[in-house]
Amino acid sequence: MKVELSPERAHYPMPCSIVGANVDGKANFLAVAWFTMCNPTPGYIAVSLGKSHYSNPGIRANGTFSVNIPSASIAEKADYCGVVSGRNADKSKVFDVFYGKLKTAPMAKECPFNIECRLVQTVDLPVEELFIGEIVAAYCDETCITDGKPDLAKIDPFVLVSASKRYRTLGADIGGAWDIGKPRK
């Protein structure tokens, strides 16, 4: 039997990221679980941020942002970036910052996977702003690459389970995508 839940928030596991933006000339980082790929070619990522977030004006002003995938080993730093506002603390020192091609999308060296984005559209929603960015470049620690591709087990990302207010790491590999469901003869 299914139990109906509140439609206001879907309580499914969401991958954690750290969004980087320059605000008033300084790097700022914000923990974000509301992000997703939204276009294959060119590659676009959508990031949903509450309108009151400190990072939003920086994203709009510079037209750039980054999405950084933290490993479980730095979950405490990631959480800090979500519970402390850049209005009240200088988060430019939380990570070693580097910049890529765009020069205005700060990225965190401690995160094993980083995506640099150029803002292409902002969608005004009732409570959120949806920032859609074109992926300009992606970076991965060489220690997290296997056969030329990012290795999820080595990156060791984690998810937010909002219903229980917990972070969880990923489990075992269960099979090939676009393969395990194929009819077999």
Query: pLDDT of 123-167, one tens digit each?
Result: 999 999 999 999 999 999 999 999 999 999 999 999 999 888 999
Reported confidence tier of residue 6, pLDDT bands at 50, 70, 90: confident
pLDDT score of 99: 98
Share of the chain above pLDDT 90, in %: 89
- The answer to whether residue 1 is domain-embedded is no
- The answer to whether residue 178 is domain-embedded is no
Q: Which residues pair with 160 in a beta bridge?
A: 14, 167
Q: Do the beta carbons of residue 119 and residue 32 sit within 8 Å?
A: no
Q: Is 81 left (phi over 0), alpha (psi -120 to 50) or beta?
A: alpha
- The answer to whether residue 84 is domain-embedded is yes
> Distance (Å, rounded) from C-alpha 98 to C-alpha 84?
21
Residue type, 43: G
Question: Mean pLDDT, to the nearest integer, of 66-88?
Answer: 97
Spell out the residues 6+ positions from residue 7 whose beta carbon is closer than 8 angstroms to its own. Answer: none
Q: Which of 75, 88, 99, 100 is nearest to 18 (CA)?
A: 75
Domain count of the fold of the chain: 1
pLDDT score of 75: 98
- The answer to whether residue 136 is domain-embedded is yes
Containing structural domain, residue 31: 14-169
Question: Mean pLDDT, to the nearest integer, of 54-60?
Answer: 98
Reported confidence tier of residue 115, pLDDT bands at 50, 70, 90: very high
- CATH no. for residue 58? 2.30.110.10
pLDDT at 98 over 80: yes
Reported confidence tier of residue 9, pLDDT bands at 50, 70, 90: low
- The answer to whether residue 176 is domain-embedded is no
Question: Mean pLDDT, to the nearest integer, of 28-39?
Answer: 97
